[in-house]
Structure 1
Amino acid sequence: MFITRAVLGAAALAASLSLAHAQERTARIVSGFAPGGTADLVARVAAEAVAPHLGVRPVVETRTGASGMLALEMVARGPKDGSMVFQCPMGTLVINPELPGAVMSVDPRTALVPIANVALSSYGMVTGARSPYQSVADVVNAARARPGTVTYASAGVGTAQHLSGARMEVMANVSMTHVPYRGAAPGVLDLIAGRADFMVTNLGDVTRQIQGGELRLLALADPVGVPQFAGAPRIADTIPGLEVAGWFGLCGPTGMAPAAIRQWAEAVRLGLQNPDLRQRLLENGLTPIVEGPEEFANRMQRDRDAWGDTIRRANIRAE
């Protein structure tokens, strides 16, 4: 009987997981952010996607705190047999290590290895529905006319939202005021209430508010876009070269068994062919993507260089 290498590999990984966890017979995807957010959604979609191809159904375990670093440390110090992986978001993996003054118990650049990318996260520039701003040009012109008075919200100092606003200041040669919040949700509430002017953020955080009429989408921040907002302009139409996109993938601890890395990556590739799971990601402003360890590592390095440049040019430090 013909048996494919993928099936053999999945069986081998399932056997190794069973040996490592003889009693619970499970694998874990550890997420560093609270249930209900985009990172948690991706972790749960990934768990559902890989289950048929690993032979075990991974459990999503949430370990919040320190911008995802507690979860990262847990995986970095955990077993290397493939039984525990980290749902690795862009900010934790490539932005935090570049921030001067950031306190990290482990260095993501050396503590983890890439397994596979799962989803690209489109960003959008949004403002409150009652805001006077109807376009990116309106915001830029107001910032030039009244330096320092236009405000942009973020999910905290050093987050992708913060750096996106800072990148806009640098590239448009304007001065604006950064207003950090403890997460994207309170920032969105202040946008709706008119207490902040705009935010460049993950569409997964604001799609429902845009569709519900509470927020106005001024532009998308990447060239790919999403089906829900196919006709939206791009920030780069007004500020050439300004593009922002995030991602959510899976990483393992350094020293993870190569066979386990390969089989997790193959399970992601096969699992993301499921149209229902792809649709669930798309509905939340995410684009399914299949990138194996090498491609994912290359993306990490490119983004680390780009965000590091923004951090240095804007003189941003961790708080």
Structure 2
Amino acid sequence: MPGSKRAAALASSAPRREDRGKNDRGGGRMRRTVLAALLGLAVAMPAAAEERTIRLVSGFAAGGASDLVARLTANELGPILGARVVVENRTGVNGVIGAAEVARSAPDGNTLFQCPMSTLAIVPQLVGASLPLDPGEALQPIANLALSSYGFVVAAKGPYASVQEVLAAARARPGQVSFGSAGVGSAQHLSGELLKQKTGTDMVHIPYRGATPAALDILGGRTDFMITNLADVAGQLRDGSMRLLALADTGGSPLFPTVRPLAEIVPGFDVTGWFGLCGPRGMPPEVAGRLEAALRQAMAGAALPRQFGENGLTPRFEDAAALARRIAADRRTWREVIRAVGVRAE
């Protein structure tokens, strides 16, 4: 096509100025119409419902077994309930400060407590304990989630290769063999006192402010042994700096299938820790039932039991009635030990 004809054709196909103006005005009207419709839709739509928040209180510091159970549980429980489960640490008086806060909360299922054995079954029964309340009476069991094997541990580089050697040393040198604990009245303390009672030995209790410093002094050779939650010394057992001589419970541990129970050496010795969830007394049956069902569902999955096992705990779901029976039984057991030994609160 000659250049003049091509230019004429292009000129004829291009929109005229007045047509472009009309098109722009039409497009502008359409855009304004669509924007108005969207704004109207936004005004007409109800605001999204706020996400429900559940507080899960741990009465112990971050990094311990109670905190670990609370955080692992929160991760699985939230999606099941369609809520955000937030873990809060309220420490003090072996978990009683956190328990008291939950007990005073509304019984609507939005405030829960990670209830361990020591807080519900031991601490309230110590002679001279001045507590704001008895957690075992003020809290309502919802479900148990895990059992905690206690183990008789020593330093791998220390002088003892068996429980029998420790007991022999205690008999040969009364008052010189020592055991550490997380504090006066803790499960570790009373486990050591129970061992003394059943073996007729005289051993010295050394209390610490938690299981971690107690374990460090065993590694440093300043104390001889400790009967403690395996979750508290899982790292030392993995790296080989501590040696597990016996299990304190008779059920065994899947992580240590070849380790013998202490009851084979000391008949009648049986200490098992546990970690459950509780709420304030007075929760409506439908609220407590919904929480129990959600925890059952979480424990039926693969993730939560696996994570418990990896951290030295034995997954064990028990409903509210079974947890209530466990609490009552352990209160009887530890009451006898406390009375026999005369353990007093600090």
Q: TM-score with structure 2 length normalisation?
A: 0.84
Could you list the runs of 5+ residues in structure 1 that have no partner in the other structure?
Answer: 1-21
What's the secondary structure of 1:142's corresponding residue? helix
The answer for the alignment partner of 2:311 in structure 1 is 284
The answer for the alignment partner of 2:205 in structure 1 is 178
The answer for the alignment partner of 1:4 in structure 2 is none
Larger radius of gyration: 2
Deviation at 1:51, TM superposition (A): 2.1
8 Å contact 2:121–2:330 — kept in the other structure?
A: yes
8 Å contact 1:226–1:287 — kept in the other structure?
A: yes
The answer for the alignment partner of 1:18 in structure 2 is none
The answer for the alignment partner of 2:183 in structure 1 is 156
The answer for the alignment partner of 1:111 in structure 2 is 138
Deviation at 1:222, TM superposition (A): 1.0
The answer for the alignment partner of 1:86 in structure 2 is 113
User: Kindly, what percent of the aligned residue pairs are identical?
Assistant: 51
Question: Are 1:255 and 2:286 an aligned pair?
Answer: no
Look up the equivalent residue of 2:210 and give its one-letter code: G
8 Å contact 1:221–1:236 — kept in the other structure?
A: yes
The answer for the alignment partner of 1:53 in structure 2 is 80
Deviation at 1:160, TM superposition (A): 0.2
The answer for the alignment partner of 2:56 in structure 1 is 29
Deviation at 1:286, TM superposition (A): 0.5
The answer for the alignment partner of 2:28 in structure 1 is none
- For residues 194 and 173 of structure 1, the distance between their equivalents in structure 2, rounded to whole angstroms, comes to 24
Look up the equivalent residue of 1:188 and give its one-letter code: A
- For residues 83 and 258 of structure 1, the distance between their equivalents in structure 2, rounded to whole angstroms, comes to 14
- For residues 254 and 52 of structure 2, the distance between their equivalents in structure 1, rounded to whole angstroms, comes to 39
Question: Are 1:264 and 2:291 an aligned pair?
Answer: yes
Deviation at 1:49, TM superposition (A): 2.5
The answer for the alignment partner of 1:219 in structure 2 is 246
Question: Are 1:64 and 2:91 an aligned pair?
Answer: yes
The answer for the alignment partner of 2:332 in structure 1 is 305
- For residues 76 and 330 of structure 2, the distance between their equivalents in structure 1, rounded to whole angstroms, comes to 26
What's the secondary structure of 2:83's corresponding residue? coil
Look up the equivalent residue of 2:286 and give its one-letter code: A
Look up the equivalent residue of 2:133 and give its one-letter code: V
What's the secondary structure of 2:287's corresponding residue? helix
- For residues 80 and 50 of structure 2, the distance between their equivalents in structure 1, rounded to whole angstroms, comes to 21
- For residues 240 and 314 of structure 2, the distance between their equivalents in structure 1, rounded to whole angstroms, comes to 23
- For residues 58 and 143 of structure 2, the distance between their equivalents in structure 1, rounded to whole angstroms, comes to 15
8 Å contact 1:153–1:179 — kept in the other structure?
A: yes
Look up the equivalent residue of 1:205 and give its one-letter code: D
- For residues 97 and 135 of structure 2, the distance between their equivalents in structure 1, rounded to whole angstroms, comes to 12
8 Å contact 1:49–1:267 — kept in the other structure?
A: no
Look up the equivalent residue of 1:297 and give its one-letter code: A
8 Å contact 1:84–1:252 — kept in the other structure?
A: yes
What's the secondary structure of 1:228's corresponding residue? coil
The answer for the alignment partner of 1:5 in structure 2 is none
Deviation at 1:110, TM superposition (A): 2.2
Q: Which consecutive aligned stretches of 4+ in structure 1 deviate over 3 angstroms post-superposition? A: none
CA offsets 1:60-111 (integer angstroms, 9 cap, x no match): 1111122111111110111111111111111000101111111111121321
Higher relative contact order (CA 8 A, sep 6+): 1
8 Å contact 1:119–1:286 — kept in the other structure?
A: yes
The answer for the alignment partner of 1:145 in structure 2 is 172
- For residues 57 and 182 of structure 2, the distance between their equivalents in structure 1, rounded to whole angstroms, comes to 21
